[in-house]
Copies of this chain bind each other. A is one copy, B any other.
Amino acid sequence: MNRSQFSLLVMCLTLFLTGISTHKASAQAACYAAWNATTAYTAGQTASYSKTVEERDIQLFAAMSGDHNPVHLDPEFAAQTMFKERIAHGMFSGALISAAVACELPGPGTIYIGQTMSFQKPVKIGDTLTVRLEILEKLPKFRVRIATRVFNQRDELVVDGEAEILAPRKQQTVTLPTLPAITIG
C-alpha cells in the first residue's frame, strides 16, 4: 500500500466512522475528489456548502437565465412588493444545491438524475445560505437519494427538497479550472 492509498483509506475510515463530512465552500468554489461510491456512502452521512448571496450573483443569474424581473433587480420596485426589498431568484438556491452535490457529496463525477424543491421563505441579498446534504438511501446501481435542505443565517429553512443522483463508480480527483475574470458594469 503506497502513501496515497493509505491516505485514502484513512479518509474513508474517518468518513465511515463519523458519518459526517462538512466543508465550508467559498464563492470561489471548493470541489474535492470524489469518494469511492462502493465504500464511502452511508445513509446519514452529511455535508454542507455555504455561500453569501451578493448583488453580483443576482446580476449573473439574471444575465444567464434571462429573468430580469424587477423584484430581483430594482430596489424601488421591490420595496413596493410583499417582500419589501429585493429577493434572489428562487432557482438561485437550486444552483447552490446542485453545486453542493457536485462539489461536496458525492462530488465530482456525480450525475444528476432528479431534484425536488419546495420554496419555504424568500432569500434576500446579503443572506448567507447553507445547503445541508444528508444521504437518505442507497439504491441499486449506484443511485443515491440525498436530502437537500437550504437554510439562511437565522437557521430558517428556505428550501426543502431531495436530489437523486448517480454516484461516481470510482474515485475521481479533478483539477478545477480557473474561471476568466468576470467584470460587471
Asked if A89 lies at the interface with its beta carbon under 8 angstroms from chain B, I say yes
Number of copies of this kind of chain in the complex: 2
Give the contact stretch, choosing among A7-15, A26-34, A35-43: A26-34
Q: Is the CB of B60 within 8 A of A175?
A: no
Q: Is the CB of A59 within 8 A of B176?
A: no
Q: Is the CB of A95 within 8 A of B65?
A: yes
Asked if A182 lies at the interface with its beta carbon under 8 angstroms from chain B, I say yes
> Using Cβ atoms and an 8 Å threshold, which residues of chain B touch A66?
25-30, 49, 51, 96, 99, 103
Minimum CB–CB distance from A173 to chain B (whole Å) comes to 11
Closest to A57 in B: B64
The count of residues in chain A whose C-beta lies closer than 8 Å to any C-beta of chain B is 59
Minimum CB–CB distance from A17 to chain B (whole Å) comes to 28
Minimum CB–CB distance from A183 to chain B (whole Å) comes to 4
Name the one of B65, B69, B113 contacting A118, with C-beta atoms under 8 angstroms.
B113
| Interface pairs (23), CB distance under 8 Å | A26-B66, A27-B66, A29-B62, A29-B66, A31-B67, A31-B69, A51-B66, A59-B182, A60-B63, A62-B179, A65-B95, A65-B96, A65-B98, A66-B96, A68-B177, A89-B98, A91-B94, A94-B94, A94-B115, A114-B117, A115-B119, A116-B117, A181-B184
Interface residues of A (CB under 8 A from B): 25-31, 49, 51, 57, 59-71, 73-74, 77, 89-92, 94-99, 102-103, 108, 112-119, 174-185
